[in-house]
Amino acid sequence: MTETDLVKAPGQGSLPPAQGGAPGFGRVRFRRRARSVGGVALSLALTLLGLLLVTFIIGRVMPIDPVLKVVGERATQAQYDAAYQAMGLDKPLWQQFLRYMGEVLRGDFGRSISTGHQVLDDLKRVFPATLELALLGTLIGVFVGVPLGVIAAARRGGWIDQIARVVALVGYSMPIFWLGLMGLLLFYGMLGWVGGPGRQGIIYDGMVPNVTGMILIDSLLAGDWGAFTDAFSHIILPASLLGYFSLAYISRMTRSFMLEQLSAEYVTTARVKGLSEGRVIWGHAFRNILVPLITVIALSFGGLLEGSVLTEIVFSWPGIGQYITKALLAGDMNAVLGGTVLVGTCFVLLNLLSDILYRVLDPRAK
């Protein structure tokens, strides 16, 4: 896991800061904003292009012969050559790249050798499972981490602050997959409180009609309470695990944002006015950290999409992390690269989203 990597200040996403300083006259301001939007779009396009370039290069330098994977070991030389030409491998690299780019833009990642399906269909099937896990993890992280951070800042040096410190330190130092194994051992093996590996018990497998691909929501839509509790007992442990790592980060960031606000003069003014401490903290200071907090939450969600790779392996969760890893061990390059492009794109878009939200919600950022 790369928890430390997540620690970057808001507004320092992958995009350059907003252009321009003081608000000028209408037209100038409009032009500036247009340039800034254009800059963001250009930067997004370049980043996505770079992402494709990197996956293309990875696909080309790998030692596995893609032609052999298609035609099989016993193909004749003529069959091999035909496939070689059909795949465009005789063309110059830049033409191959253009072809690859065109295919990806049409959603064509090729066929997965290990599952036999189109990679896109596989991704559509596995991605909701990861999304469900990461969303629930983020929810836990937000609903525990934010109050913890706020209280830690309000009672600086108190016992809650100390606990929050230890919780975060342990979170930054713990191998996520190991904690998952220990959680399975304790809560599933010894106590029997939660469902074991996988998304559902065998009885409920395929019983709920697929609408969103997220079983918790689908089972509620179908009104199947049994399926819902079963799915919940399976997801709660891996989601809490991801939630823990998310809350370690969110609580630290919340604490430092709050400390900054609480030392501001308007807080002193509010206190002098005689407002209660609760009003000062939640009504004044907390409202001012909402904007940077949204950025932090978006970044932490992106981190969970990535962190779910190892978690999914531990819990046999049929999501994108498990898909990529299995494909990787089988030498199934189409599936690996397709999955990488998908997760990479989500990452880039989340970065962009947090940046845009920051600009839209914080009037000073304009």
Q: Which residues bind other proteins (CB under 8 A)?
A: 1-5, 8, 14-15, 43, 46-47, 50-51, 54-55, 58-59, 61-63, 169-170, 172-179, 181-182, 184-185, 189, 256, 259, 302, 305-307, 309-310, 313-314, 324-325, 328-329, 333, 336-337, 339-340, 343-344, 347-348, 351
CA-CA distance, 116 to 7, in Å (whole number)? 40
* Minimum gap (Å) between residue 208 Cβ and other proteins: 28
Minimal distance in Å, beta carbon 224 to other proteins? 30
The smaller minimum CB distance to other proteins, of residues 128 and 338, is found at: 338
Question: How far is Cα 200 from Cα 27, in angstroms, rounded to an integer?
Answer: 58
Shortest CB 248 distance to other proteins, Å: 11
Nearer to other proteins, 222 or 330 (CB): 330
By C-beta, is 221 or 328 nearer to other proteins? 328
Which letter does DSSP use for residue 117 in this model? S
DSSP state of 108: -
| Cβ proximity of 250 and 242 under 8 Å | no
Residue 65 or 85 with smaller CB distance to other proteins? 65
Q: Toward other proteins, which CB reaches closer, 34 or 62?
A: 62
Nearer to other proteins, 64 or 361 (CB): 64
- State in angstroms the smallest separation of the CB of 172 from other proteins: 6
Residue-wise DSSP of 214-263: -HHHHHHHHT-HHHHHHHHHHHHHHHHHHHHHHHHHHHHHHHHHHHHHHT
CB of 153 to other proteins, least distance (A): 10
CB of 101 to other proteins, least distance (A): 15
Start-to-end C-alpha separation, the chain: 34
The residue among 177 and 286 lying less far from other proteins, judged by its C-beta, is: 177
Check if the beta carbon of residue 284 is closer than 8 Å to that of residue 266.
yes
Under a CB-based contact definition with an 8 Å cutoff, are residues 256 and 164 in contact? no
Single-letter code of the amino acid located at 80: Y
Contact partners, residue 285, CB within 8 Å, separation at least 6? 258, 261, 262, 264, 267
Minimal distance in Å, beta carbon 219 to other proteins?
A: 28
User: Is residue 334 within 8 Å of residue 111, measured between CB atoms?
Assistant: yes
CA dihedral 275, 279, 280, 286 (to 10 degrees): -170
